[in-house]
Structure 1
Amino acid sequence: MDVVTGRSPISVDYGDYSFPVAQCAPCPVGTFKPGTGDDFELCQPCPEYTTVSSSDRRSCTCFRLAGGDSFDASIFALYFDKATLSCGLVPKSLVASIGDGADSNDSVYTRPEQFPCERGYFCSGGVRSPCPAGYYGDASLETRSTCAGVCSSGFYCPLASRNSTARVCGDANVFCPSGSAVPIPVWPGYYSVRLLPFGADSLLVSDVGFESYSVSSSGEQAPKNEDIRDGQRICEPGSFCVDGKKHLCPAGRYGDKSSETSSLCAGLCTRGYYCPKGSTSPTQRECGADGLICRTGSPEPQLIQVGYYSIGITNTTRFFQRPCEPGYFCIDGIKYQCPAGTFGATSGLSTAACSGLCAPGYFCPSYPSPPSISRTQNECGNSSVYCPEGTGNEPNSVTSGYYSVLTSGMAVDGRNATQNDAKICPKGFYCRQGIRIRCPEGTYGDVEGLSAASCSGWCPAGYFCPFATTDYRLNPCLPGTYATKGAAVCMTSPSSSQSRASVIKTFQVLPQEQVMKPPCTTHRECCLFGKITARKQQYLD
């Protein structure tokens, strides 16, 4: 018990804020308490059958001797000995000097002197009281019930605190606004902050408690400020709060609501998007390009593998990759058909060269047709077309005057289906639809690249032109033979027994220019008349 106030503060930590000062209660009837103190156990029982409690419970009053012995009440008086807890007899003349055995128990009514009110207390009407919880008294002789003022923010002040920073608030999971009697737990889904204006870091100095405390000015949630937080704030979207501390939602996750307490936040980021730390939406950021993919819960875009292409809703929200199928090649996540003239025999190709060029005698089409997957995708066709190595969508048509050939070393099967080159038609031949044909009998071909069946023209009279003749001048008719225009062979001259009339008849039909040209090997009649002259012509006429 406080000898000044007559009150008894309950001994607790900072629960004294809830029970600041308890009123004293008398010991139960039949007990007494000879000394000061707050514990109920200090109340001792008065001896039964001989005593009763005094009215102030500071002693026991005797009403008989033990055993019921009699005594002369005119001479003796009963006295309670607190040392032996028994009743005895004393002369009545000494009762006044001995008292009632409770003289040593001071009371508020028997004060012999006064003292100055100490720091942490205020005194009013001669009674000393502790400064209330949440307040502090930093000077003696205080008379105000609020003492010097409220406790500083970030600190709390129990009863009888002597400075504004009596006790540090403690940790990030509690906060102490100005005037705190006890730390206040941070609510779930909230985090504590230091709201003291930056730069206000000069605190009161005292010889008791925390005289000075440096306040960091690097931010409301600076780690150095965790034990002197003075406010709380709701956890914003994109973060979660545990034990008064705010943490950003992990990369790959998002938080779209306030007061989040789970480290999983609201959930995983949507595929096709990625979520850096502190994201507030499942579609925080688009993955970016064809060469990047973002699976569900992606913290950042992932580069696509070489030879793979990406799949997604749009070009910027790709979420899956697949290996390039045969016939295709993939660059930066985009799938392309192997170019015309090439083929893709395997999956996972990553260059436009694919698996190589199409084989000679074959063609390998691509867009708008499906891509080619074999080196011998399609046979070239027939003799009218040819396909060199790397032929694309269509075979090459053989130009008129040229013919197709097979030069790739492949076996000739007679079908002309895999020709791979074209050559100019040689002399003595004409070429149509890629086929080389000999110039017919009676004609000749003295130049390359002929395409008509007449080649260079008819063989002149006096010459013979068999198949594939290149130069008629190398084939003159010998004496005694003759050949007309377009002849394939020279004819033998007729016998002399032929009638003159029949010779004259034949001669008359000859053109004039042939009649006048020596030597005469162009008509059968030349065999009878030799060189035709104007005089002989008159004779024949």
Structure 2
Amino acid sequence: ACSGPCAPGHVCREGAVNNTEAQCGGPHVVCPIGSGAAVAVDEGDESVGGAGPDTRTATVQCVPGSWCSGGVRRPCPAGRYGSAAGLSTAACSGVCADGYECAAGSVSANTLPCRAGSYCRGGVIVACPAGTYSSALGLSRFGQCTPCPAGTASATPGLNDVAKCVPCEAPEGSGSGTTTCFPGLVSVVADDAPPKVPGLSDGDTLTLTFTRPTNRPDVATTAAVRQ
């Protein structure tokens, strides 16, 4: 008579002289006690038991929030969720609902509202663009981000508070939703062309001085304009 069954997690072929002749062979197969051959793990199941991945002894169905292939369990990727057990691909149950974000391993499409300063669409978290902000949760599209007020600006995306829109320093200013303040006008000087007359007249040259270069290639910090 033989001495006993093959040890769990191992394979004992015909003629084996001990109960741990060979390890089962990897997470994609399992070997319960008394195995003469390894048994393949079904897709959607995870191999468990044993001292490590080469000596698995049993299978369990993949838990929600995960997917299992080749006997290995992995979390559903960020932007997706897994509401059912036994999932077998990284697609899991689908993408996160618009207005919500799904961390890796999520089990629901709409558990966590999209964070402030961002909008969430198609499972992707997108920062509100520069010049805008959002203190609200659960935005689902770009148009729901709020422009920074006139007189402020910001080149930083993802602002979550209007207080983070930076006020322009006088005499500079801005319209709403801008990324930079526009140059402020410091002075206007009129140089009368002969004959000299009080005030402005045809032929006068106005010299405009700004706080910094404008966005026009023909205007630096000063500009001369014929009246």
Residue identity in the other structure for 2:199: I
Q: Secondary structure of the equivalent of 2:13? A: coil
How far residue 339 of structure 1 moved from its aligned partner, in angstroms, is: 1.1
CA offsets 1:229-270 (integer angstroms, 9 cap, x no match) = xxxxxxxxxxxxxxxxxxxxxxxxxxxxxxxxx3xx211111
CA-CA distance at 1:402 after TM superposition: 3.9
Q: Which runs of 5 or more residues in structure 2 are unaligned?
A: 202-227
- C-alpha displacement of 1:514: 5.6
Deviations 1:211-239 (A, max 9, x none): xxxxxxxxxxxxxxxxxxxxxxxxxxxxx
C-alpha separation in 2, matches of 1:381 and 1:531: 62
2:118 paired residue among 385, 390, 393 = 385
Q: 1:431 to 1:351 in 2, by over 3 A?
A: farther
1:18-75 per-position Cα deviation (integer Å, ceiling 9, x unaligned)? xxxxxxxxxxxxxxxxxxxxxxxxxxxxxxxxxxxxxxxxxxxxxxxxxxxxxxxxxx
Q: Displacement of 1:337 after TM fit?
A: 1.0
Aligned pairs for 1:430-441 within 5 A:
432=154, 433=159
So what's the TM-score if we normalise by structure 1? Answer: 0.30
| Structure 2 match to 1:281 | 18
Instruction: Report the CA distance between 1:397 and its aligned residue.
Output: 3.1
Q: Does 1:305 align with 2:45?
A: no
Partner of 1:397: 127
Which has the higher relative contact order, 1 or 2, with Cα contacts under 8 A spaced 6 or more apart? Answer: 2
Counterparts of 1:75-94 in structure 2 under 5 Å? Answer: none
SS at match of 1:277: coil
Q: Distance in 2 between matches of 1:268 and 1:533?
A: 110
Which residue type is aligned with residue 111 of structure 2? Q
* Structure 1 residues 172-321: aligned runs within 5 Å: 262=1, 265-311=2-48, 312-321=50-59
Q: CA deviation at 1:377?
A: 3.0
d(CA) in 1 for partners of 2:191, 2:98: 58
AA aligned to 2:182 is: S
The Cα of 1:513 is off from its aligned counterpart by 1.8
Structure 1 contact 338–352 (Cα < 8 Å) conserved = yes
Unaligned runs of 5+ in 1: 1-261, 405-414, 461-484, 486-510, 517-529, 535-541
Higher helix proportion, which one? 1
Contact 1:403 1:422 in 2 (8 A): no
1:34-49 → structure 2 map (5 Å cutoff): none
Which amino acid is the alignment partner of residue 303 of structure 1? Answer: A
Cα RMSD for the two superposed structures: 3.6
| Matched-pair contact (CA < 8 Å) for 1:425–1:431 | no
Match of 1:451 in 2: 179
AA aligned opposite 2:82: G
Shift of 1:444: 5.8
Q: Deviations over 1:449-508 (max 9, x none)?
A: 6135xx4356x8xxxxxxxxxxxxxxxxxxxxxxxx9xxxxxxxxxxxxxxxxxxxxxxx
Determine the structure 2 residue equivalent to 1:245: none
Which one of 183, 189, 212 corresponds to residue 513 of structure 1? 189
In structure 2, the residue matched to 1:98 is none
Separation of aligned partners in 1, 2:115 and 2:5: 58
User: Any idea what SS the aligned residue of 2:179 has?
Assistant: coil
Amino acid at match of 1:322: V
Give the whole-Å Cα distance in 2 for the aligned partners of 1:327 and 1:400: 34
Find the counterpart in structure 2 of residue 96 from structure 1: none
Greater share of strand: 2
Instruction: State the alpha-carbon separation in 1 of the partners of residues 200 and 46 from structure 2.
Output: 93
Distance 1:515 1:401 in 2: 39
- Classify the secondary structure of the residue corresponding to 1:381: coil
For residue 282 of structure 1, report the CA deviation from its aligned partner. 0.8
Alignment of 1:351 with 2:77, yes or no, is: no
2:137 corresponds to which of 408, 417, 435: 417
Q: Deviations over 1:495-536 (max 9, x none)?
A: xxxxxxxxxxxxxxxx772686xxxxxxxxxxxxx96269xx
Equivalent position SS for 2:93: coil
Q: 107, 123, 142: which is aligned to 1:373?
A: 107
Change (3 A) 1:431 1:532: closer
2:62 to 299, 310, 324: 324
Q: Output one character per residue of 1:327-350: Cα deviation in whole Å (capped at 9) or x when no partner.
A: 111010011111111111111110
- What is the aligned-residue identity percentage? 30
The structural deviation recorded for 1:357 is 1.1
Q: Secondary structure at the match of 2:94?
A: coil
What's the offset of the Cα at 1:293?
Answer: 0.4
CA distance in 2, matches of 1:444, 1:512: 20
Q: Displacement of 1:317 after TM fit?
A: 0.8
Give the TM-score normalised by structure 2: 0.67
| Counterpart code for 1:350 | S
Letter in 2 for 1:399: P
CA–CA separation in structure 1 for the residues paired with 2:199 and 2:140 = 57
Larger radius of gyration: 1
Give the counterpart letter for 1:401 in structure 2: G
Secondary structure at the aligned position of 1:268 is classed as coil
* 1:334 is the counterpart of 2:72: yes
Q: Which amino acid aligns with 1:321?
A: T
The residue type paired with residue 335 of structure 1 is: R
> Which amino acid is 1:300 matched to?
A
Q: Tell me if 1:532 matches 2:208.
A: no
